[in-house]
Amino acid sequence: MHLDSIHKQILKVMLVALFIVGASPMLSQVAPSARESGVPLAVGVGLSDFDLDWGKNPNGNERRMEGISAWIDFTVPYTPKVLRGLGIELEGHDIDFSAPAAAPTMRQDTALAGGIYTWRHYHNFHPYVKYLAGIGSIDFQVLPNAPVWYRHDTRTVYAPGGGLEYRAFRSLWVRGDYEYQFWPKIFGPKTLDPNGYTFGVAYDFRRLNHR
């Protein structure tokens, strides 16, 4: 299946899921007991653990690296009920800790933006899905039969994902996130597919006004 077809199928699944959740009578009956005010903005930072999709050991730790991630979520205000929870996410990953012995100069950085939909029917638990796109930067070892100066490249990156946010204290939320990235046609026809988890905290600038 071509990469474009994969993206189209992912988008279709996400749209269907959003429609089902938005139209579900059971979920719509979970009415909040408080109203939110303030800026619909959340800022977060976390630690990431990614499989690089690079190396000879797909089941071991040699392909994994850690790094720092940060994100900003803006929830679109004044949307129809079926779209409530729709927002925009800006996200950055800097995966440059614990490089494998076989690739000591490896580094993967991404700057992504796109849509995020959060189920906001519950006060303390917010599942979400997202689809981001942007620029990826990669540093690597010299490849066989490649010029010695070719140790860096950039690509357009596509990244579907999802996760769960939990309210730890008032405006402070804990997030667990999974993301699967597509780096198409890098090093020839290959698509590089780094994927991994991010765990972090976010501060939500909205306030809860209890009735």
Nearest to 151 by CA among 90, 91, 92, 106: 106
Q: What per-residue confidence (pLDDT) applies to 145?
A: 72
Residue-range domains of the chain with CATH: 37-210 (2.40.160.20)
The pLDDT value given to residue 135: 97
* Alpha carbon distance 19, 167 (integer Å): 25
Query: What is the reported pLDDT for 164?
Result: 97
Residue-averaged pLDDT of the chain: 82
Give the integer Cα–Cα distance in Å for 103 and 93: 19
| pLDDT of 32 higher than 70 | no
Confidence of residue 87 (pLDDT cuts 50, 70, 90): very high
Q: Is a pLDDT exceeding 80 seen at residue 142? A: no
Average pLDDT over residues 67-85: 89
Mean pLDDT on 12-20: 46
Band (203; pLDDT cuts 50, 70, 90) = very high
**Torsion angle in degrees (nearest 10) through CA of 176, 197, 184, 106:** 140
Q: In this structure, how many other beta carbons lie within 10 angstroms of the beta carbon of residue 194?
A: 24
pLDDT band for position 61 (cuts 50, 70, 90):
low
